[in-house]
Structure 1
Amino acid sequence: MRARHRPGGPRDTIARWIALTTLMAMLTALAFNALFVQLAGVWAKPPLSESGLVERIASITNMIEAAEPTQRSRLAEVASNPVLSVTWHNRRQDISVPVTDDPEFRTDSGGLRQLLKSPNGHIEAYQPSDWPGPNGQYALLIQLADDSWLMFSSASRSWGLDEGPRNLIVIGLVLLSTILVALIATRRLARPLQQFALGARRFGVDFRAPPIEPIGPHEIRQAILAFNAMQAQLQHFIKDRTQMLAAISHDLRTPLTRMRLRGEFIEDHEQQQRLFHDVDEMQAMINSALDFFRDDARLEEATSFDLAELLQTLIDDYRDQSIDIAFSGPSRLVYFGRPLGLKRVMSNLLENAIKYGSEPAIELVADSERVKICVLDRGPGIPVEWHEQVFEPFFRMESSRNRTTGGVGLGLSAARAIVLEHGGEMRLHNRDGGGLRVCVLLPVQRI
């Protein structure tokens, strides 16, 4: 269910969610601990030093030792309960216990000797594994001052774990409850953030992408709304700019036509040809600008397609024109983008490689983060200081790439614009031995 802010109610903020998560983790930890105490039985009880059993044994021992010998058996019987049995014996030989190598009670973790009035008496301790057969029990023998003996026995363990293991269990329960609550609570925060990132990536690929639905806590919704407003402004700006430039280019055709008609009346043939040449050049630039601004490839929807197959199709088209283009790369590569736009980019780069160089080739490399397409040729290359200028509109080199060899300087500008709309970049490198390498780097879109 999507949480939305209601007027007058508590605001759904990240700070509120963090506080609720902390509170829920604490309550869940307490619930787990209570469940552990209920289900684990004696193992969930406090350690021997905290159970009060040692103090009880010491009190019973001191009480019986202070009584008359004739009353000790009766007092031991009264002190017994279903958990702890107490018996008094006049002689050690009257007590039936298993024979062990060293039954003396040496690990006095509960401080039993310090609690006894006569701490120098002999103490023996036995556990179920010391007894033959399945009916073993816990037993504690304490020698009194008159050499009589008290036997404390229990059929089952009546104290819990030691402090170390018990603390580990409690810490484990706290961690388990915290992880469970954190997974549930962070999912509430992570989902709108993931959707926000996905929408931002889609806008990087397709500037006509729909706005992102504002969901999640208040801060995330505000960030999404701000992004949607920015996206709408950019879309409006791009649309207005394209329409304005296309209208200017279209309106320029009329005065150019009049100039050509008036040029027919110029008697000087040389001046007339110069005028016609300038008019034709301006007309070509206007037509190229119109094609650029009305590019249908920039209006197509982004979709998944086989990029390797698209490149093979281009190579086959040039092969039909008796132009061989070498290819290096996988036979199949699915990519999410605009196939018509990328086909126009690669066609432009291949045309340049064929027109201004030789031995055209394509390299396709991909990994989990990006796709790299390189168009190579053997030719004069481009001076390093011009590597950025060649992307400027209407920029043309006067030597190898001049006006007479075709183009008005919009090809690389249009190509890079399409690549940038995909969230990628285009780089130029001069090859060793002559030639140019133009690489298109495209991010892998996880849509």
Structure 2
Amino acid sequence: MRRQLILMVAATTSIVLIALLVPMAVLIERFAVEDALAKAGFEVQATETVVAFNDKGAVNVHLDDLNNNEDGLATTVLYPGGQSIGPDGQVTADVLRARDRGVAIVNDSTEGAEVLVPVSVDDEDRPVIRVLVTSQGFNSDVYLSWAILVGLGLGVLALAILVADRLGRAFVRPVVQLAETAGRLESGDLSARVEPAGPPEVREVGTALNRLAARVGHLLAAERENVADISHRLRTPVTVLRLDAEALRDPEERSRLATDVDEMNRMVDDVIREARRPMREGLGAACDALTVVDDRTRFWNVLAEDQNRSVRVDLPEEPVPVRATREDLATAVDALLGNVFSHTPEGTAFAVRLEGVNGQGACLVVSDEGSGFPAGRDVLRRGESQGGSTGLGLDIVRRTAEASGGRVLIGRTPSGGVEVTVELGPPQR
């Protein structure tokens, strides 16, 4: 839009300048010719006065003074009989006609213009004054005037382009801000708002975009609260099931139902945590992965000791900044370690390794010595996991990694266990 406005103004201004300057240039040249002819007329009058005294010596002195001026005029007096005083003594047919008829003649010539004026001294002696007006005498002034016109035209054109550029910026800047705000909303930043500016139509669009963003935020928050509330209501029947399971007399039935109830309780917790999870990944987030991973491994280490699990933690000494909030990364680490405890028998060893990637994020690896995920399943997809889990845990891990500009890789350890590699991108600058 800005470029089109500049091109339109430049084209329009150029057309107007051409329409004005070309006639002005022609008029300047014409005025220069008329001015030169007027000067020639003055010289003719002055020379005619001297010639009328019939003193050729005085005429010679007078013409020397006139022709020494560099004004582009050359004056010659042509006497009958072929005698002449001045630079051009050629007797042409026009000279004879002017002498015979006694009238002044103005002709165009290859060098400019020629003025022929006869002077009546007596009945037999009628000399002719020739003034040759050369274009060299006024071309320099004409070219200077043309150069000034061209300079003024270019100045006006540059000024018009500058004004168009400023107007284009004023028109385009609000639209660019609208696009940037829409991009932030598209990336999940529902707090993004635009300051309405620019023409009334653009301001109206900005106001409507702000209302839309606020409405989407309210609807999303209400939906999440509704889902979390529904999930919360499931806790009561789950608690009742747990009490019923503990009341069974058969140890095998009690153990089997208790395991199922624990799995259901974990599913409810995952749904509540996911429903209340704010949309904050990747929105200018940053944290130290070293601090978060160290804190969460210490938290889970207590349960690992109770279950006689061997834990190996390998952390770097320097901070490892990544593009994720502390809450998001902590949730992802809890999901990874929670899967280890949920889907491997007690006593199964696991390891946590974190390393920086040359200032370009971090690589977090969680591995265990269990039996691994079932073959042929995409465990990163929601609903695809092991042991009846909802799969929300690894889905959270995947979303956190992708929001930071990284990814999640699933592999196997040499012993056949699961190895989850989470690549996290660096913070945005």
Does TM, scored on the shorter chain, surpass 0.5? Answer: yes
CA apart distance, 1:187: 2.3
Q: Which has the larger radius of gyration?
A: 2
CA change 1:299–1:47 in 2 (3 A) is closer
Q: Is the counterpart of residue 158 in structure 1 residue 148 in structure 2?
A: no
2:32 equivalent in structure 1: 53
8 Å CA contact 1:91–1:149 kept in 2: the answer is: no
User: In structure 2, what is the Cα distance between the partners aligned to 1:283 and 1:334?
Assistant: 32
The residue type equivalent to 2:142 in the other structure is: W
The residue type equivalent to 1:53 in the other structure is: A
8 Å CA contact 1:47–1:162 kept in 2: the answer is: no
CA change 1:342–1:112 in 2 (3 A) is farther
Which has the higher mean CA deviation after the structures are superposed, 192-201 or 279-288? Answer: 192-201
The one of 341, 345, 358 equivalent to 2:332 is 345
1:99 equivalent in structure 2: none
The residue type equivalent to 1:70 in the other structure is: V
The one of 109, 113, 118 equivalent to 2:110 is 113
The root-mean-square deviation of aligned C-alpha atoms, in Å, is: 5.9
Which has the higher mean CA deviation after the structures are superposed, 242-251 or 63-72? Answer: 63-72
User: In structure 2, what is the Cα distance between the partners aligned to 1:332 and 1:360?
Assistant: 13
> How many residues are matched?
354
1:439 equivalent in structure 2: 423
Residues 34-433 of structure 1: matches in 2 within 5 Å? 46=25, 50-54=29-33, 57=36, 70=51, 88=75, 90-92=85-87, 113=110, 115-116=112-113, 158-161=141-144, 169=151, 172-204=154-186, 207-209=189-191, 211-295=193-277, 305=286, 307=287, 310-314=288-292, 316-317=294-295, 323-325=312-314, 338-345=325-332, 348=335, 360-364=353-357, 373-376=362-365, 386-387=377-378, 389-393=379-383, 395-397=384-386, 409-418=391-400, 426-428=407-409
User: In structure 2, what is the Cα distance between the partners aligned to 1:385 and 1:200?
Assistant: 40
8 Å CA contact 2:74–2:133 kept in 1: the answer is: yes
CA change 1:180–1:294 in 2 (3 A) is same
Secondary structure, aligned partner of 2:173: helix
1:140 equivalent in structure 2: none
CA apart distance, 1:252: 1.2
CA change 1:327–1:51 in 2 (3 A) is farther
For each residue in 1:64-120, what CA deviation from the matched residue of structure 2 results, as whole angstroms up to 9, or x when unmatched? 7899782699x99xx99x995857363459xxxxxxxxxxxxxxxxx96165459xx
User: In structure 1, what is the Cα distance between the partners aligned to 2:272 and 2:143?
Assistant: 86
User: In structure 1, what is the Cα distance between the partners aligned to 2:113 and 2:237?
Assistant: 120
CA change 1:332–1:185 in 2 (3 A) is farther
CA apart distance, 1:268: 3.2
8 Å CA contact 2:321–2:361 kept in 1: the answer is: no
User: In structure 2, what is the Cα distance between the partners aligned to 1:381 and 1:178?
Assistant: 72
CA apart distance, 1:158: 2.8
User: In structure 2, what is the Cα distance between the partners aligned to 1:214 and 1:288?
Assistant: 41
CA apart distance, 1:209: 0.7
For each residue in 1:174-195, what CA deviation from the matched residue of structure 2 results, as whole angstroms up to 9, or x when unmatched? 4422331123212212331233
Structure number with greater CO (CA < 8 Å, separation at least 6) is: 1
8 Å CA contact 2:406–2:425 kept in 1: the answer is: yes
8 Å CA contact 1:419–1:426 kept in 2: the answer is: yes
User: In structure 1, what is the Cα distance between the partners aligned to 2:201 and 2:413?
Assistant: 53
Gapped runs of 5+ residues in structure 1?
1-13, 38-44, 94-110, 119-144
Query: TM-score scaled to structure 1, two decimals?
Result: 0.56
User: In structure 2, what is the Cα distance between the partners aligned to 1:327 and 1:175?
Assistant: 63
The residue type equivalent to 1:290 in the other structure is: I
CA apart distance, 1:338: 3.8
CA change 1:314–1:116 in 2 (3 A) is same
8 Å CA contact 2:281–2:400 kept in 1: the answer is: no
For each residue in 1:146-199, what CA deviation from the matched residue of structure 2 results, as whole angstroms up to 9, or x when unmatched? 999889997995333486x66863563244223311232122123312332343
8 Å CA contact 2:37–2:133 kept in 1: the answer is: no
User: In structure 2, what is the Cα distance between the partners aligned to 1:266 and 1:222?
Assistant: 67
8 Å CA contact 1:88–1:149 kept in 2: the answer is: yes
CA change 1:262–1:151 in 2 (3 A) is closer
User: In structure 2, what is the Cα distance between the partners aligned to 1:283 and 1:159?
Assistant: 97
For each residue in 1:267-311, what CA deviation from the matched residue of structure 2 results, as whole angstroms up to 9, or x when unmatched? 43322322222112111221232233334x657996675x4xx12
CA change 1:357–1:206 in 2 (3 A) is same
8 Å CA contact 2:363–2:423 kept in 1: the answer is: yes
Residues 11-26 of structure 1: matches in 2 within 5 Å? none
User: In structure 1, what is the Cα distance between the partners aligned to 2:377 and 2:165?
Assistant: 54
8 Å CA contact 2:411–2:420 kept in 1: the answer is: yes
User: In structure 1, what is the Cα distance between the partners aligned to 2:374 and 2:152?
Assistant: 70
Secondary structure, aligned partner of 1:88: strand
CA apart distance, 1:247: 1.5
For each residue in 1:380-419, what CA deviation from the matched residue of structure 2 results, as whole angstroms up to 9, or x when unmatched? 99899755x52314x314xxxx57xxx7632222334556
Query: TM-score scaled to structure 2, two decimals?
Result: 0.57
Gapped runs of 5+ residues in structure 2?
53-58, 77-84, 89-107, 116-127, 302-310, 342-347
CA apart distance, 1:251: 1.2
CA apart distance, 1:235: 1.6
